[in-house]
A and B are shown apart, each in its own frame.
Chain A
Amino acid sequence: MNLNIDAIKGQTFDAIVIGSGISGGWAAKELTEKGLKVAVLERGREIKHIEGYETANKNPWEFDHRGRPTNMAAEEYWAGMRTGYTANEEHRYLFENDKQNPYLEKRGGFDWTRAYHTGGKSLLWGRQTYRWNREDFLANEKEGVGTPWPIGYDDLAPWYSYVEKFAGISGQAEGLDVLPDSEFMPAMQMTAPETHFKNAVNKKLGRAVTVGRVAHLTNPGKQHTALGRSSCNYRNKCMRGCPYGAYFSSLSATLPAAMRTGRLTMVHNAIAAEIIYDEATQKAKGVRVIDQITNESKEYFAKIIFVNAGAIQSTSILMNSKSNRYQNGLGNDSDQLGRNIMDHHLGVGASATVEGFEKDYMFGNRPNGLYIPRFQNWGKDKRAYSRGFGYQGGASREGWGRGVGADGFGADFKESLTHPGQWTVGFGGFGEILPNPENRFVLSAQKDKWGLPVLEFSADFGQNELQMREDMMNEAATMLEAAGFKNINAYNKQDTHIGLGIHEMGTARMGTSVKNSIVNKHNQVHEVKNVFMTDGAAMASASCVNPSLTYMAMTARAADFAVNELKKKNL
């Protein structure tokens, strides 16, 4: 008897955070810093900051296939292969084997990239960091698409500032309404052809071009160095894990901050199977996990639960949490759970060659490019489709790779490839995907190796996205032309699916009412008030900018609310 009580004591906390990725790390940091004892349940293995980055300092020749995925890897990592880079030898250790973690695709297709380990996808993200603008929060309501956001820019603005200062964002203030400025560290430099492009596009087309805003330290302050973080070393090998802690990740920043409070307990290999609902209190009382190695079931208890497992996984945990009250998934009175999967559609843009600039070159490998903020359907601009897109890209000098498709071989050819080649430039679009209730996933009857339901996706692009893509291709070419670049090659890749952007959003959207949404304006499950969802799942629309910063701000805001509610004894 005593044993049982002790066991429950050891597994009882003030708060549980499911997932240690970009939003889970923030939940852990905020809740522990506000005095709560927190358990983070991470489904994957433990990776230690720096020493766990096994490929970070490898030389090119130390990769057997010089980085390329083998046939075997291509089969094991079939979904990762669709991205073109996640299954290669540098990064594969941080991505999941798709064969061992199957999912089903019914209609369309869904490119699902998973990263089950400490820090989740925060180790692998593109670090591009942009605030949403005012209109992003208003568009649903104005257009009658999806459901209105119950929060606006002003609700998030102070939290954007708060998380930006801690994370460390490099970028250039531009004063644009369409792309609100963040709290910036010094911006990275543009190359000479990029500056030329920026000026030409601005002068001829009236469009803004700025250097990418990235979560890299360029001038670290005390709060960064105190966590062992230092400046970017311009290796651009970020996705292998950064030994300098220069880019923001849960491992480099939020988890160490939570750990130093002495109130964080990290639990690895703990797959959250379901949230345990207490019919009497109408609250959640804990989480049942399955140990991914031993398959043993175990329960953890807490007053509040933050679900930060990544949009799809967070929602699937709610779906799997069935009780008398919620037979169709926790908090799912609206039947919105699993619906409105969004992402950013990409694989469309243009590239070109640049004449001249022969004396321009650069030392260092900038882990960043240029950003062209949305200009469509903005101000007086009107398009046949709704919403819009931004571009990412940049210019660089060709390396030896240019020799592959070029004529020639032999001594002169060999020597010529040791020098920088001509400048090339390219931009690819990131387009907003509209919420569509038919783009969804459900729990299938098939079970995975832990006995949990395999997810079945049914999602495809709609007319608005397809129409936008044509424009994304053409406008990219127009801008390269405006800059006088040559050999313009515009493309619109057809075999892409939702998910390829690895910006999965929606499936447990925020809204005004329990009738049309899963969480309220505080990211609280409407009628299970001690459960919070603050990752991509809560998004009611997608904007066209990279989403991680918004998850961070939302998480910090929700954690603040949750702790205040706890103090008021409302939870």
Chain B
Amino acid sequence: MKNVIKFVFRLILGDYLEQFNIKLMMKRRDAISQIALLLGGAFTAPTLMAMDVRKGNTSIVAADFSLTDAQRQIVSAVAEHIIPRTSTPGAIDAGVPAFIEMMLKDCYKKPEHNSFLKGVNDLAKANFLAQPAAGQVAMLTLLEANTKDLMKSYSQKKIKVGDNVDKDTLEGANGVPFWRLMKELTLLGYYTSEKGIEASFVYEPVPGKFELITDMKPTQKSFVY
């Protein structure tokens, strides 16, 4: 428990100081989200997109990003807490930890690399992996509560950008917090994987018709297309 309290304290104070420093050092940048049209645009997972890359502005080429084995263990454990193996496969079964690292490297930039690594390192310092399962859950619950406060500086909106196309935007000054990245990439990695889709939904790539259902049961699984 002591570790947990210390961890939360560091989390709050640390983020406060970091935000202050970043504000001093960096101009505010506009972060725009991208769409995940994967499942047809009916909904999208909010995500931070690359900066609006204007011609000539090539200075923001992604830095290399990779995790150490110790960091990978933490990422795997957190992903498995978010989507555990139950009667159906979990995050690790669906290859989510490697997916997260690949996505961070290929699709995110320095601010998210920094916030993600900071989150992993905070958990390492708090001996996350040495905690019993209940302690780990308590830590992540607190982390989630803390992240909610951080996310208040982001405005999230669903915006219509074209015929039949919506996108969610997430706009904020700093890198998206670790927990938010973890959760988004875990859910994306799992619920769009072959194992995840098979275990979770009714997959209908060619529905062939559009029909209203008026007596849906609470047990109804989502259709994905």
B22 interface residue (CB < 8 Å to A) = no
A171 interface residue (CB < 8 Å to B) = no
B193 interface residue (CB < 8 Å to A) = yes
Contact of A362 among B32, B158, B211 (CB under 8 A): B211
Nearest CB of B to A324, in Å: 36
Q: Which residue of A lies closest to B91 (CB)?
A: A414
Q: How far is the CA of A341 from the CA of B83 in the complex (A)?
A: 50
Check if B161 sits within 8 Å of A85, measured CB to CB.
Answer: yes
Contacts of B204 in A (CB 8 A): 363-364
Check if B52 sits within 8 Å of A82, measured CB to CB.
Answer: yes
A83 interface residue (CB < 8 Å to B) = yes
Nearest CB of B to A78, in Å: 4
Check if A363 sits within 8 Å of B187, measured CB to CB.
Answer: no
Check if A61 sits within 8 Å of B156, measured CB to CB.
Answer: no
Contacts of B213 in A (CB 8 A): 359-363
Nearest CB of A to B11, in Å: 17
Task: Return the CB mask of B185-225 against A: 1 if under 8 Å, else 0.
Answer: 00111011110010011001111111111111011111111
B15 interface residue (CB < 8 Å to A) = no
Contacts of B225 in A (CB 8 A): 235-237, 364-365
Interface-side segment among A24-32, A310-318, A343-351: A343-351
With A71-B62, A74-B49 known as contacts, the answer to whether A59 contacts B205 (CB < 8 A) is yes
Contacts of A69 in B (CB 8 A): 34, 49-50, 107
Contact of B43 among A90, A127, A401, A493 (CB under 8 A): A401
Q: How far is the CA of A522 from the CA of B30 in the complex (A)?
A: 46
Contacts of B107 in A (CB 8 A): 65, 68-71
Interface-side segment among A159-167, A418-426, A507-515: A418-426
Q: Which residue of A lies closest to B206 (CB)?
A: A233
Q: Within A121-144, which residues are at the interface with B (CB < 8 Å)?
A: 125-128
With A88-B34, A235-B40, A358-B216 known as contacts, the answer to whether A420 contacts B222 (CB < 8 A) is yes
Contacts of B106 in A (CB 8 A): 65, 70-72
Q: Which residue of A lies closest to B158 (CB)?
A: A351
Contacts of B52 in A (CB 8 A): 78, 81-82, 495
Task: Return the CB mask of A488-521 against B: 1 if under 8 Å, else 0.
Answer: 0101010100001110000000000000000000
Contact of A83 among B162, B164, B166, B183 (CB under 8 A): B162
Contacts of A541 in B (CB 8 A): none
Task: Return the CB mask of B54-88 against A: 1 if under 8 Å, else 0.
Answer: 11001001100000000000000000011110100
Contact of B206 among A212, A235, A405 (CB under 8 A): A235
Q: How far is the CA of A403 from the CA of B192 in the complex (A)?
A: 14
With A88-B37, A401-B44 known as contacts, the answer to whether A417 contacts B50 (CB < 8 A) is no
Q: Within B121-180, which residues are at the interface with A (CB < 8 Å)?
A: 137, 140, 144, 148, 151, 156-167, 169, 180
With A78-B53, A427-B160 known as contacts, the answer to whether A415 contacts B207 (CB < 8 A) is no
Q: Within A221-272, which residues are at the interface with B (CB < 8 Å)?
A: 233-237, 239
Contacts of B62 in A (CB 8 A): 71-72
Q: Which residue of B lies closest to A60 (CB)?
A: B192
Check if B223 sits within 8 Å of A128, measured CB to CB.
Answer: no
Check if A411 sits within 8 Å of B162, measured CB to CB.
Answer: no
Contact of A359 among B33, B137, B210, B215 (CB under 8 A): B215
18 chain-A/chain-B pairs, Cβ below 8 angstroms: A60-B224, A66-B189, A71-B108, A78-B53, A84-B165, A85-B165, A189-B211, A349-B159, A360-B212, A362-B213, A365-B225, A396-B43, A399-B39, A404-B184, A419-B218, A427-B160, A428-B161, A491-B159
Mark B residues whose CB is within 8 Å of A.
Answer: 30, 32-47, 49-50, 52-55, 58, 61-62, 81-84, 86, 90, 102-103, 106-109, 137, 140, 144, 148, 151, 156-167, 169, 180, 183-184, 187-189, 191-194, 197, 200-201, 204-216, 218-225
